[in-house]
């Protein structure tokens, strides 16, 4: 469960990114496609080559959603309700793909490369928990 301290750490960490959020979104996706090729099966309609505009655009979307989630950590279910519907009824991404944390892992790697020592064990823990919570909410409506 996300503690008050976790929430504070996440908000502080997000604040430290100084506008790099969008880049981080694209990078997390690129890393995910590279490390976990099966995740590409959800994007057959995308140009997945390096620097692709579609990946950039999608990364931006993902990060915007996470930003919303971070501003609404006390009510993730409601904040992500539309996205939850989308993932359950339209996208139907295999739910364990969320909880198996491929995107979470790659997002954390992208954050760690930028934050270095500032990606402390405590921040790492908070982000991991947060991504778990987001994954749970997105999978809520699957069945």
* Residue 84 touches another protein, criterion: CB under 8 A: no
Closest CA to 114 of 9, 23, 42, 32: 23
With contacts defined by CB under 8 A, how many residues of the chain interact with another protein? 24
Among 66, 80, 106, 139, binds another protein (CB under 8 A): 106
Among 46, 86, 112, 136, binds another protein (CB under 8 A): 112
Q: Shortest gap between Cβ of 110 and another protein (angstroms)?
A: 8
141 and 88 in contact (C-beta within 8 Å)?
A: yes
Cα–Cα distance measured from residue 71 to residue 15, given in angstroms and rounded to the nearest whole number: 11
Extract the tokens encoding 24.
Answer: 């981080």
Considering the complex, state which of residue 84 and residue 108 has its C-beta at the smaller distance from another protein.
108
Among 39, 52, 84, 108, binds another protein (CB under 8 A): 108
> Near another protein by CB under 8 A, which window of 34-42, 61-69, 74-82, 133-141?
34-42
Q: In Å, what is the CA distance from 138 to each residue of 16, 113, 116, 141?
A: 26, 27, 29, 7
* Residue 17 touches another protein, criterion: CB under 8 A: no
Cα–Cα distance measured from residue 13 to residue 8, given in angstroms and rounded to the nearest whole number: 8
Extract the tokens encoding 85.
Answer: 């519907």
Extract the tokens encoding 97.
Answer: 């793909």
Q: Shortest gap between Cβ of 80 and another protein (angstroms)?
A: 23
13 and 127 in contact (C-beta within 8 Å)?
A: yes
For another protein, the binding residues (CB under 8 A) are 27, 30-31, 34-36, 101, 105-106, 108-110, 112-117, 119, 121-122, 124-125, 128
């Amino acid at each position: 469960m996300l503690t008050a301290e976790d929430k504070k750490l996440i908000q502080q960490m997000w604040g430290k990114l100084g506008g790099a959020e969008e880049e981080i979104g694209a990078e997390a996706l690129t890393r995910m496609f590279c490390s976990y090729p099966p995740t590409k099966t959800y994007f057959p309609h995308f140009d997945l080559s390096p620097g692709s505009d579609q990946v950039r655009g999608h990364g931006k979307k993902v990060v915007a959603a996470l930003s919303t989630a971070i501003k609404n950590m006390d009510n993730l279910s409601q904040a992500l309700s539309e996205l939850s519907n989308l993932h359950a009824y339209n996208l139907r991404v295999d739910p364990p793909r969320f909880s198996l944390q491929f995107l979470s892992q790659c997002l954390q790697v992208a954050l760690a490369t930028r934050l270095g020592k500032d990606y402390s064990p405590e921040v790492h823990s908070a982000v991991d928990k947060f991504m778990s919570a987001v994954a749970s909410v997105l999978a809520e409506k699957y069945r």
